[in-house]
Amino acid sequence: MAEPLFRKLDCLMLKAADLDAGIAFYTDALGHRVIWRSQVAVGLAMPDTDAELVLHTQLGPEANLLVADADDAFDRFVAAGGREIRRPFDIPIGRCAVVMDPQGNVLVMLDQSKGKLDADGQLIVTAP
């Protein structure tokens, strides 16, 4: 039996046309804590997992699945009968690919080959 392709859920990404309103709703009304912020997105903590709830002004909704290597995962997924939506590409934390399974589910696979996001004391993303 092959080693599982997906390591864990990295994040649930939701679209937020107004990032500040989204932050207010998920923090003030629902109790989530901001762990990082950029100009287009904010990461929120969930207490029972290290997976993040991410609000994004340009992307979403989507579930991002962590893989060891996005390029290898893409090749393996397509070879197994999945369909290519977007070949692997660079993202700030590593590499990402978008695929579709035989049932029509679109999956976003990413690795953290460049490291996790770092934030300063104001929770603004500083690296990678």
Q: In a structure prediction context, what are the per-residue pLDDT tens digits for the chain, which is 128 residues long?
A: 889 999 999 999 999 999 999 999 999 999 999 999 999 999 999 999 999 999 999 999 999 999 999 999 999 999 999 999 999 999 989 999 999 999 999 999 999 999 877 677 666 666 65
Residue with tokens 């589910």: 105
Model-wide pTM > 0.75: yes
CA distances from 66 to 19, 55, 124 (A): 24, 18, 23
- Residue 82 has a pLDDT of 97
Q: Which amino acid is at 63?
A: A
- Residue 30 has a pLDDT of 97
- Residue 128 has a pLDDT of 58
- Residue 125 has a pLDDT of 65
Q: Strand runs (DSSP E) across the chain, as ranges?
A: 8-15, 33-37, 41-46, 49-56, 62-66, 83-91, 94-100, 106-110, 118-119, 125-127
What tokens appear for 128 in the block? 């990678």
Residue with tokens 């080959």: 113
Strands 62-66 and 106-110: what pairing? parallel
- Residue 107 has a pLDDT of 95
Domains by residue range for the chain, with CATH: 1-63 (3.10.180.10), 67-115 (3.10.180.10)
- Residue 35 has a pLDDT of 93
Q: Which amino acid is at 43?
A: G
